[in-house]
Structure 1
């Protein structure tokens, strides 16, 4: 079994390595804007390392001059001491200059990636957003964007400086001393790197498991808070805590294993460095005893080793962090590489709405191949007319509005607006031409003014007041202590269902689109408010092409045409009077709702 797993493991690792290189190359475009700063920062880096490597050389000259005790002892060491101080100052100066210059590059790259991710998420289909885990993807994005900063930090501030310093030290050792010094140094570094890579690769499984469980736990906690009311309805606080705790318990076990394996790695790295430095010092001391090296040489070699191995001691941490960073970054770039399900055709024109006629022609659609929602649906909403769609839950009514907005593409058939197939025009122009009042109105956790202006960011205060007046909500807004600046809470939870619905109606009015969709727009309103707003909706819809998806049949009796849907098909159509005369499904639904209203009326009188 072990032999069977090895090729698969090697294949997986090769794939990961290819992804890592691919992701590193994908980062380059984000650095191009400030390439001048990048090159200047690298120049500062090289200058800092030259000064750093020059310090042990000057230290050797100081020790040798003191050992010789020449007549220049009071002059020569003084100049060297000044040179020693100047090199230390130069090293610090160029390091800080590098950090300052590169800060703009790093934070600009993070900003660009963050904006690109949000832009891409908005391009992905509704299907993706309905299936995604909000908490998990938020954590993945957070780790991914921070990984870019971490990677750039390690590359510019740690890995590249170590490589430059190591090269300079190697050149000096090979030029001035016996080859054995370079051999021991190279061998120590090679063994150290191989050991670090092998152990770190072994530890990566623990890190991936930690990431997965971390995202899972985050998603569970956020999901339980988003559904706060549901949790309270069913007294399931303990159930949520137990579920969250089980995930964190798994995370805890993996985290402990990860820490234990890191201790093994750190001890092994310390052993390799200790052996290497001891061998170098033994060779240098032996050279001084034999007279082939001066005390200054011993001091310089010792200083070089300390200077080289101190940052090398952190190379293991850097390599681990680099691998973790690349793993986190891979999630981000996989998200960016996920192709949108709904895309514009090349050079797609904008939708031109002259009349606003809507036609569904033989439309078939299903969210999955196993579940067909619409079957050969055909109907027309004439320009300036109001067509209502009714039917039992699951009949496919709301799917019509999603297809019209092109959140999904039809499986077959076509949807036309003024004779233009909506798949051939830009999504932006299509959605600009349609206004909607949805059944479930979700508001931003911002002011009422912001939520209203979302329909038209250029709307003036006068425009807002007129729209709010039409939606029967102005007096309510102005009665609030903060009035238009009242914060509505997350998802609009501080407003009632009816208040949120009226905000949505006012927002649609502000958009002023030629086509309007009311998706059970009065379902959250009481009867009195519904009647008042129904008049408003009728006035608003008067000069628009309007598609009304309704549950309460009383709201659509004045529609120019009513479509009755059942199991994804239109089974009846006509005016309210015509459908009642047909004595079919619509008549049954009408009688049922009249009966329910009568019962509710009787109950309300009995309560009084």
Structure 2
């Protein structure tokens, strides 16, 4: 399988994040150079001690050399601390920056993207892959750079010690590069496959645990367990291949490098016997050869980690390359949320002209046209699947229409910047969304800068203040994931308070009172009726009481407007609407 991104592209991408912290990078590289140099200098000290102290039996020189060696060790250790601290800090910082960039990008993608992709898999990429990069940048890269410097430095000093023996070492280098080249590509490929399968597991866990009541209600635990076990086995199968090639890479490099060291050591011993080099030169050469061999072994291990990181980088770059289905180009510089002052009251706030929308080649909305005047309350009825909720999605540009035109205050809705367009709408869905934060933050979701008094006032209008005050910390109570601490009716009243506080000119209600008991429904309907006096309202209606209060009713059937009018007009002339009313009355 050909890798989508080259190693050079991935390195350039990572470097673009590191460049913001150039002083930390310079400090880390400086400490790396000092620590590597101190260990390399030990070889020359060993050579000097052997030739001038040990062989010449000079005790004073040996004592002096000991203090020099201890000083070098202290300097090298301090430099190692600085290198380790800065590199690990850079790993944490780059990982945090990548997560911020990735989240900032993901939050802009359209709902269509999340309809195609599993959220759990995306979360896995967001967490596991960025954590892997943190480890690689903080530790792997540091080890690779240190080992590379040590290898190059050892080769230079080996040549300085004995050029003849160094030439024998160079003969083995091409043999080491072959497994790194061939097996490294295998490791990278299987690493990416393994991470994809782990992400798939993340999707299953996210789905199963979030819907645990449905899983348990249908006694699906055993089947879920078996499905999960199959996925785990698939992960292990791919991981086994990755581990095999990585272990083979390490073993191949080790056997070649260690064999070369011992062969060169043998040749060096012959050279000492022949008198072409001294004992000290041989000891120093073997010391450097061991350093070079250890560096190569470390590099071969790190290459496996780097290939794994390359797979993680590819998956992150794939997400960053995703583009929104919604083109966000504004040609309206100063949008008028309540319409231009030059427009008359008869100008439609919302106008649909022959719009069409298809999803996955299935036509959902077909040739739909209607107008909504300022201040009107328009109810939309129809069978399940008629396109009612899809219509709301199209108005807010969660999806692009395939044909036709939608006008907001006389302007094409795709001429607005998406954020400006959505400032026209306050949405209360049938299944309200509650975030794992405080009551205050949930109500003030549209504007975090509103006062506590405004939040309380909105809650009072939504008849939510009484039960909020009864919570352990009132408005500061954390509502838990998806509002688990609230009943369905309480969630809906929080959502209605959110819409009240947003003060948007167009209100979209997806039967917002459906989860309320009779008493709460009466109170909330009063609040909504008051809110609707100052807004233009579209209501997806499932109850007769809702449509009776509407100024106009639109009947949808298979994505088409088959009739519109008042309750009595439609009841007398439209079979679909009459069926809706009769079912309600029965």
- When the two structures are superposed, what TM-score results if normalisation uses the length of structure 1? 0.90
Post-superposition shift, 1:265? 4.0
Matching of residue 513 in structure 1 with residue 497 in structure 2: no
Is the 8 Å Cα contact of residues 90 and 138 (structure 2) preserved in structure 1?
A: no
What's the counterpart of residue 152 of structure 1?
137
Distance 1:448 1:362, change over 3 A: same
Is the 8 Å Cα contact of residues 483 and 491 (structure 2) preserved in structure 1?
A: yes
Post-superposition shift, 1:325? 0.7
Post-superposition shift, 1:541? 1.0
Match among 448, 470, 482 for residue 491 of structure 1: 482
Matching of residue 419 in structure 1 with residue 406 in structure 2: no
What's the counterpart of residue 473 of structure 1?
464
Distance 1:430 1:550, change over 3 A: same
Matching of residue 351 in structure 1 with residue 351 in structure 2: no
Helix, strand or coil for the counterpart of 2:375? Answer: coil
What's the counterpart of residue 362 of structure 1?
354
Post-superposition shift, 1:104? 4.3
What's the counterpart of residue 584 of structure 2?
593
Is the 8 Å Cα contact of residues 351 and 420 (structure 1) preserved in structure 2?
A: no
Work out the CA distance in 2 between the residues paired with 1:88 and 1:189: 30
Is the 8 Å Cα contact of residues 154 and 318 (structure 1) preserved in structure 2?
A: no
What's the counterpart of residue 234 of structure 2?
250
Is the 8 Å Cα contact of residues 42 and 156 (structure 1) preserved in structure 2?
A: no
Matching of residue 167 in structure 1 with residue 152 in structure 2: yes
Helix, strand or coil for the counterpart of 1:366? Answer: strand
Work out the CA distance in 1 between the residues paired with 2:251 and 2:560: 71
What's the counterpart of residue 3 of structure 1?
none
Distance 1:156 1:376, change over 3 A: same
What's the counterpart of residue 112 of structure 2?
127
Matching of residue 95 in structure 1 with residue 80 in structure 2: yes
What's the counterpart of residue 450 of structure 2?
459
Matching of residue 392 in structure 1 with residue 383 in structure 2: yes
Listed one character per residue, the Cα deviations across residues 105-130 of structure 1 (whole Å, up to 9, x for unaligned) are 33222221101111111111101112
Post-superposition shift, 1:103? 4.3
Distance 1:522 1:422, change over 3 A: same
What's the counterpart of residue 547 of structure 1?
538
Work out the CA distance in 2 between the residues paired with 1:426 and 1:107: 35
Matching of residue 48 in structure 1 with residue 35 in structure 2: yes
Helix, strand or coil for the counterpart of 2:514? Answer: coil
Distance 1:306 1:583, change over 3 A: closer
What's the counterpart of residue 6 of structure 1?
none
Post-superposition shift, 1:206? 4.2
Is the 8 Å Cα contact of residues 89 and 138 (structure 2) preserved in structure 1?
A: no
What's the counterpart of residue 182 of structure 1?
166
Post-superposition shift, 1:549? 1.3
- When the two structures are superposed, what TM-score results if normalisation uses the length of structure 2? 0.93
Work out the CA distance in 2 between the residues paired with 1:523 and 1:126: 24
Listed one character per residue, the Cα deviations across residues 292-347 of structure 1 (whole Å, up to 9, x for unaligned) are 22221121112112222123222221111111110111000110011111121266
Match among 257, 264, 284 for residue 280 of structure 1: 264
Q: CA RMSD in A?
A: 2.2
Match among 527, 530, 541 for residue 536 of structure 1: 527
What's the counterpart of residue 305 of structure 2?
321
What's the counterpart of residue 344 of structure 2?
none
Matching of residue 525 in structure 1 with residue 516 in structure 2: yes
What's the counterpart of residue 48 of structure 2?
61
Distance 1:108 1:178, change over 3 A: closer
Match among 244, 255, 264 for residue 271 of structure 1: 255
Match among 270, 274, 277 for residue 290 of structure 1: 274
Post-superposition shift, 1:159? 1.9
Helix, strand or coil for the counterpart of 1:556? Answer: helix
Work out the CA distance in 1 between the residues paired with 2:81 and 2:270: 39
Match among 53, 69, 82 for residue 84 of structure 1: 69
Is the 8 Å Cα contact of residues 20 and 330 (structure 1) preserved in structure 2?
A: no
Post-superposition shift, 1:95? 2.2
Helix, strand or coil for the counterpart of 1:314? Answer: helix
Post-superposition shift, 1:165? 2.1
Match among 309, 312, 326 for residue 342 of structure 1: 326
Listed one character per residue, the Cα deviations across residues 158-180 of structure 1 (whole Å, up to 9, x for unaligned) are 2222222222222222233133x
Unpaired runs of 5+ residues, structure 1, are 1-11, 596-608
Helix, strand or coil for the counterpart of 2:6? Answer: helix
Listed one character per residue, the Cα deviations across residues 13-71 of structure 1 (whole Å, up to 9, x for unaligned) are 4x45x43322221222212221232223222222222222111111111111114538x
Work out the CA distance in 2 between the residues paired with 1:416 and 1:493: 39
Helix, strand or coil for the counterpart of 1:339? Answer: coil
Work out the CA distance in 2 between the residues paired with 1:287 and 1:108: 52
Post-superposition shift, 1:210? 2.7
What's the counterpart of residue 343 of structure 2?
none
Matching of residue 38 in structure 1 with residue 10 in structure 2: no
Post-superposition shift, 1:410? 0.9
Distance 1:200 1:89, change over 3 A: same
Q: Which moved more, 1:288-297 or 1:31-40?
A: 31-40
Post-superposition shift, 1:222? 2.1
Post-superposition shift, 1:583? 4.8
Listed one character per residue, the Cα deviations across residues 491-520 of structure 1 (whole Å, up to 9, x for unaligned) are 123322111111100111111111111112
Post-superposition shift, 1:436? 0.7
Matching of residue 26 in structure 1 with residue 17 in structure 2: no
Is the 8 Å Cα contact of residues 436 and 482 (structure 2) preserved in structure 1?
A: yes
Distance 1:209 1:109, change over 3 A: closer
Work out the CA distance in 2 between the residues paired with 1:558 and 1:160: 73
Distance 1:261 1:68, change over 3 A: closer
